[in-house]
Chains A and B, each alone.
Chain A
Amino acid sequence: MSFLDIEDLAVHFGGVKAVDGVSFSVERGEVFSIIGPNGAGKSTIFNLISRLYRPTRGRIRFDGQDITELPAHRIAPLGIARTFQNIELFDHSTVLDNLLMGRHVHRTTNVFQDILFLPRVRREEREHRQRVEQVIEFLELEAYRKKTIAGLPYGIRKIVEVGRALALAPKLILLDEPASGLSVEESREVAFWIEDMRRDMGLTVLMVEHDMNLVAAVSDRVLALANGRPLAEGAPSEVQADPAVRAAYLGRREVAV
């Protein structure tokens, strides 16, 4: 059995079939990308995996466990972290606090210990901080540690969100358009991180992305979607060459790329 198994997944909103019978599996340590035109159902799949939506049918299995019926807040403790297409950070907190919030699943103290701030709480705070500092170093966020999110530029916020997901120390990270709105240099940077995440942190990466250069550079396998249905799956070059994919992106007639 694979690391992440999606089996005949479907979600219908009334008559709209946002995702309709998608199956794929992601192996441990793999970078798997989902591509497709707008409205293909890419982000919807993410929302299904992170249990924000309830699937109409199908099963989601992660690391041998069926997570189809779990409540949303039980997903993170299993080791799944994600980012959002439209950044969802805690705007009134600092970068440091945002990253510390990512450590929530590793918390072992309860509210009463917190109120009394027992030595154990301080010990745990130091530990969280140390882990967060590693993430800050990895993403080179040192200069922004104490800055409030609301005042930061878009590119930095995007990175902070990745940092928050990494602070969770996940096994699987879902990146929803990590390079959207970034400059060419910045998205090249993203490619390096994804490589490092896979190689040094042993993460499995599931990514939704429009930037084909990035997808081709980092992905082991690619799944192309259109109108909630799978079009093609395979190595990046295979998928890019697939006639059905070309038709979905560029229209019916063959056009040389």
Chain B
Amino acid sequence: MKIVLNRPRCEGHGLCEEAAPQLMHLDDEGELVLDREEFDAADAALAHAAVRVCPVAALRIA
């Protein structure tokens, strides 16, 4: 499974980083960096929580 970022949509809220800091973070410019795009079953709940919390639907799972 993979997390996909729609970068133009991202507003840099960072709620996703708060939900899944193991998978992603905002860099010094506030741009989202996916540290691990691919994730396995063990991290599925984290990934889904990060995708769900985004208020502008900039993330999805593929």
Chain A partners chain B: no
B residues adjacent to A (C-beta < 8 A): none
